[in-house]
Structure 1
């Protein structure tokens, strides 16, 4: 298992989800991806995408200027 980071700062919906989807497609099951972004909508969008696609959100954080969502990559469907 390897941990990766994705910089999605200054991207608005739906781009954080699209970039997350593209990056997860390159990773292995069990890997984790921390998505850093400024779009607060990602707090809803990325977890919804994970539920649909079999991935797990293991942590979310929100500060005044940044959102962080950590995803564990699931098995391919």
Structure 2
């Protein structure tokens, strides 16, 4: 279960990643953010960003062109 949901559907690169970063910056450590995106670049960009950040990718999936990421906000 997520604490917040960010629907970035219809947004093109780099907007899903930028909106994800902004949302995570406003969250507390341990909170979970679910991101929904339709831009295929998100499948590469969001996990790559998380590898270099204090946040953790909990889950990711793709269904019918919709990419879903569950991210735990780091401390």
Contiguous gaps of at least 5 residues in structure 1: none
**Cα deviation, residue 65, structure 1:** 2.8
Aligned to 1:35: 35
TM-score norm. by structure 2 comes to 0.92
How well do the aligned residues superpose, as a CA RMSD in angstroms? 1.1
Contiguous gaps of at least 5 residues in structure 2: none
**Number of equivalences:** 74
Partners of 1:19 and 1:31 in 2: CA distance: 16
Structure 1 stretches of 4+ moved >3 Å = none
**Cα deviation, residue 51, structure 1:** 1.4
TM-score norm. by structure 1 comes to 0.90
